[in-house]
Structure 1
Amino acid sequence: MKKNIAIIMGGYSSEYQISLKSGNVVYNTLNKEKYNAYRIHIFENKWVYVDANDKEYAIDKNDFSVLVNETKITFDCVFNAIHGSPGEDGFMQSYFKLINLPQTSCDAYQAALTFNKRDCLSVLKPYGILTAESYYLNLGDIINEDQIINKVGLPCFVKANKAGSSFGISKVHEKEKLNAAIDIAFKEDNEIIIESFLDGTEVSVGVITYKGETKVLPITEIVSENDFFDYEAKYLGKSQEITPARITKEQENKVTTVAKKIYNVLKMKGYTRSEFIFKDGEPHLLEMNTIPGLTNESILPQQAAEAGITMEALFDSAIEEALKS
């Protein structure tokens, strides 16, 4: 008997278009002999099932079912492909937990924690995880430029605390441009984090649960053509993503160990992709993503391919793991 899989995509944030691409890749890749795949668009003004002809059917939020031609369709599992809110911040995870519907990403607490960069880094520091020097601001706080620069130095990064895909992030080289960068970040979130610049090799490390085991995927080196790994670098080809990374065996062992430790300390499930920069030979954590991009150009699928894991096998394992829990 084929399982009905709801692939949720879209979302409420600036990342919705990337999420739609990820969701459609999952939809087109899932084994049609094993699964009935359904594209579910989640937006603030509508939750709808979109059929092959792009006709929309409203989702019943009471039990996440849909009525199609007077036939009620329910789902065995949800494949979460929403980047940003509400798929990556814990809201959808909480909803599915309440209605007892398995889903492929981590649990609600882990999603909320990792989506909040400041809180996640604070939780991990007691475990010896190295990070950049940071300064926090909330909307409405008095901005003391000298205090900020004395803490983090120049250049520095100004980031929205709860946003992805490099939305709301700026690299600031001069004190005079700090306020403008803060304004940009506050357009994405009412909390921001300002971090010191770490000058070193940047790598991305995918850690997943695959066939019941925690697996660290081959590491990707990020070489941006721009000043940093921004939206253009991530999605418009303005970067080199080199898998496996051109790092020493010692560096590889260190970052693999740290990435796996973080995954286990946070009691993660599903896919994660963490970004690190090597400073003085040691990996410093930038952030963790729990719904990484799943397009053909995305880093995690590239890493899986390097490990000999096809996209179909990658997605199939996520569903199998969710159905077990």
Structure 2
Amino acid sequence: MKNVAIIMGGYSSEYQISLKSGNVVYNFLDKTKYNAYRIHIFKEKWVMVDENENEFPVNRHDFSVNYVGIKLTFDVVFNAIHGTPGEDGLMQAYFELLGIPQTSCDYYQAALTFNKRDMLSVLKPYGIKTATSYYLDRGNVINEDEIIKTVGLPMFVKPNKSGSSFGISKVKTKEELLPAIENAYKEDNEIIIESFLDGTEVSVGVINYKGETKVLPITEIVSENDFFDYEAKYLGKSQEITPARISDDICQKVEAVSKKAYEVLKMKGFSRSEFIIVNGEPFMLEMNTIPGLTTESILPQQAKEAGISLTELFDNAIELALA
């Protein structure tokens, strides 16, 4: 039996969603094949949490746990941390140094995709379309007229490195621009401002399944709010329709672009990319490398539609990491 450490929590605003994802992995993992252990990673402590919610400190020197008098080590790590340090490359690099396989992409891909600006600029030369954008770093002079002239109104103001729509605003008037920038700076010291793309929003899961790149059935996002924000994502203020209501022709285009992005970036493990389809053309917004894994999350919904159970999905991720 392989010992699996499921890491969850993290240092960002997304830690509660990560704890949910990690517990789903824990509950659905095949217990006949794996001994699963929940590891909470927080700034103030790294601990293993047992069935009775007792905490045992993790030795960061070799990622082991002294558990009821035995030294517990792990064969593989299942990464369920959204945001830093699980989705931005830090944990990936740490486990690579320790020689412990883990289920997400490698540290470079994690760091690159976590940085929306850098990822989109790497993909652009491959013909992947993106919104018109404008970049700001904390301390830069803010020229509102120049921003509006570049990207137009309405526009989206986003932290460059954050997830779950924290810090994102849709700006419709010049008066809303400065408060939106302040809001984004609460999450990150870099901002990406993008033109509003008026079209159909879709989310596409791409995974390595049994050694092959597999594009999962596409999900269409219909938000009751102005955009797919935190409420829409987690508090039921959206419809997620899988498979998406798009033509076969557009579906093939989106699948091809999603697969290309996954392969160009030399991705591994799970990924979920967001696109807006405008006049039949997919424009890429971002890629998540640790997508939500709760039973309501988009990627598990897509896997289900493809006939892959959560147990099979998680088993496949661990088998590939161990291979």
Counterpart Cα distance in 1 of 2:244 and 2:67: 48
Counterpart Cα distance in 2 of 1:254 and 1:48: 44
Instruction: Tell me the equivalent position of 1:148.
Output: 147
2:51 equivalent to 1:61? no
Uncovered stretches (5+) of structure 1, i.e. residues with no partner = none
Instruction: Tell me the equivalent position of 1:283.
Output: 282
Percentage identity across paired residues of the two chains: 75
Q: Which amino acid aligns with 2:222?
A: V
2:164 equivalent to 1:165? yes
Instruction: Tell me the equivalent position of 1:131.
Output: 130
Instruction: Tell me the equivalent position of 1:197.
Output: 196
2:101 equivalent to 1:102? yes
What aligned pairs does 1:243-322 form with structure 2 within 5 A after superposition?
243-322=242-321
- 3-state SS of 1:72 partner: strand
What aligned pairs does 1:9-158 form with structure 2 within 5 A after superposition?
9-158=8-157
Post-superposition offset of 1:287: 0.2
- What TM-score, normalized to structure 1? 0.99
Post-superposition offset of 1:302: 0.1
Uncovered stretches (5+) of structure 2, i.e. residues with no partner = none
Q: Deviations over 1:80-115 (max 9, x none)?
A: 000000000000000000000000000000000000
- 3-state SS of 1:241 partner: strand
Post-superposition offset of 1:228: 0.2
Counterpart Cα distance in 2 of 1:177 and 1:202: 24
Structure 1 vs Structure 2 CA RMSD: 0.4
Counterpart Cα distance in 1 of 2:253 and 2:60: 45
Q: Which amino acid aligns with 2:55?
A: E
Counterpart Cα distance in 1 of 2:182 and 2:54: 40
Instruction: Tell me the equivalent position of 1:224.
Output: 223
Counterpart Cα distance in 2 of 1:14 and 1:28: 24
Q: Which amino acid aligns with 1:62?
A: H
Q: Which amino acid aligns with 1:301?
A: P
Post-superposition offset of 1:133: 0.2
Q: Deviations over 1:151-205 (max 9, x none)?
A: 0000000000000000010000000110000000000000000000000000000
Counterpart Cα distance in 2 of 1:211 and 1:147: 49
Post-superposition offset of 1:6: 0.1
Paired residues in the alignment total: 323
- 3-state SS of 2:130 partner: coil
Counterpart Cα distance in 1 of 2:31 and 2:126: 43
Instruction: Tell me the equivalent position of 1:188.
Output: 187
Post-superposition offset of 1:280: 1.7
- 3-state SS of 2:142 partner: coil
Q: Deviations over 1:7-47 (max 9, x none)?
A: 00000000000000000000000011110000000000100
- 3-state SS of 1:13 partner: coil
Instruction: Tell me the equivalent position of 1:206.
Output: 205
Post-superposition offset of 1:69: 1.4
Q: Which amino acid aligns with 1:256?
A: E
Q: Which amino acid aligns with 2:206?
A: V
Counterpart Cα distance in 1 of 2:68 and 2:5: 18
Counterpart Cα distance in 2 of 1:69 and 1:311: 31
Q: Which amino acid aligns with 2:53?
A: D
Counterpart Cα distance in 2 of 1:256 and 1:262: 10
Q: Which amino acid aligns with 1:153?
A: G
Q: Which amino acid aligns with 1:229?
A: F
Q: Deviations over 1:123-170 (max 9, x none)?
A: 011111000000000000000000000000000000000000000100
Q: Deviations over 1:41-90 (max 9, x none)?
A: 00001000000000000000011000011100000000000000000000
Counterpart Cα distance in 2 of 1:170 and 1:118: 17
Counterpart Cα distance in 2 of 1:279 and 1:196: 13
